[in-house]
């Protein structure tokens, strides 16, 4: 199964686990409008199954035809090139809801947005790793100061000194690896940010 299919199933599982409409919304439902709003937000028309489940406990059944008519109209407002680009940048997982006649232009802009989303995700991940490394480096440096003080303290037994000495060696090794990795991260972040600027300029017309 491809990633879009997996994402679609995951979305449906999440939706099925919570009420999509309240009792009042079910009792006063305009099913055309609900369908339109779902389509305009990029939900597949199968979302009506979640509405049906939410409203069944209140004795209300969806008007399928009205919902589907509204959904078809809402999809037209969703499946525009501009919105495809916006949704791609947000990381929206396309589920194939656009009609074939307009899907091509939507997908072109959607893929452009996804390129930007992917590179932004890389930048964010690298920066998160860098912050984590810096926090660990700071902790290790303080731990080394404390360990060296304990090792040279007059009251520290000889056996414990040897254990502390070994621990210091391990911490220094870890520290060196983290500092080396941070140097690489600086380069990788700069490269990813440069790639992001290129993409943002390339697709500025959206």
The DSSP result for 73-123, as a single string, is HHHHHHSSHHHHHHHHHHT----S-S-HHHHHHHHHHHHHHHHHHHHHHHH
pLDDT of the residue at 135: 98
Q: What angle do CA 180, 184, 188 make, to 5 degrees?
A: 165
Q: Which residues of the chain have pLDDT under 50?
A: 1-17
Spell out the SS3 assignment of 143-196.
HHHHHHHHHHCCCCCHHHHHHHHHHHHHHHHHHHHHHHHHHHHHHHHHHHHHHH
pLDDT single digits (tens) 92-104? 999 899 999 999 9
pLDDT of the residue at 109: 97
Model-level pTM greater than 0.85? no
pLDDT of the residue at 18: 63
pLDDT of the residue at 5: 46
Q: Are 102 and 84 in contact (CB under 8 A)?
A: no
CB count in 10 Å sphere of residue 177: 11
Length of the chain: 206
User: How far, in Å, CA of 45 to CA of 59, rounded?
Assistant: 21
Which residue bears the tokens 């303080």?
A: 142
Q: What angle do CA 160, 164, 168 make, to 5 degrees?
A: 170
Residue 191, Cα to own-chain centre: how many angstroms? 21
pLDDT single digits (tens) 73-87? 999 999 999 999 999
């Amino acid at each position: 199964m491809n990633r879009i299919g997996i994402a679609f199933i995951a979305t449906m599982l999440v939706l099925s686990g919570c009420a999509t409409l309240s009792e009042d919304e079910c009792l006063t439902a305009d099913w055309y409008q609900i369908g339109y709003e779902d389509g305009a937000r990029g939900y597949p028309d199968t979302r009506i199954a979640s509405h049906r489940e939410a409203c069944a406990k209140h004795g209300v059944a969806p008007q399928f035809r009205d919902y589907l008519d509204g959904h078809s109209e809402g999809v037209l407002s969703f499946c525009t090139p501009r919105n495809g680009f916006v949704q791609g940048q947000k990381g929206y997982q396309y589920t194939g809801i656009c009609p074939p006649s307009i899907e091509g232009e939507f997908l072109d802009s959607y893929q452009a947005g996804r390129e930007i989303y992917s590179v932004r995700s890389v930048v964010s991940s690298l920066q998160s790793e860098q912050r984590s490394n810096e926090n660990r480096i700071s902790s290790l440096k303080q731990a080394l100061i404390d360990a060296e003080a304990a090792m040279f303290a007059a009251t520290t037994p000889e056996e414990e000194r040897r254990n502390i000495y070994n621990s210091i060696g391990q911490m220094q090794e870890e520290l060196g690896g983290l500092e080396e990795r941070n140097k690489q991260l600086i380069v990788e972040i700069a490269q990813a940010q440069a790639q992001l600027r290129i993409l943002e300029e390339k697709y500025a017309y959206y």
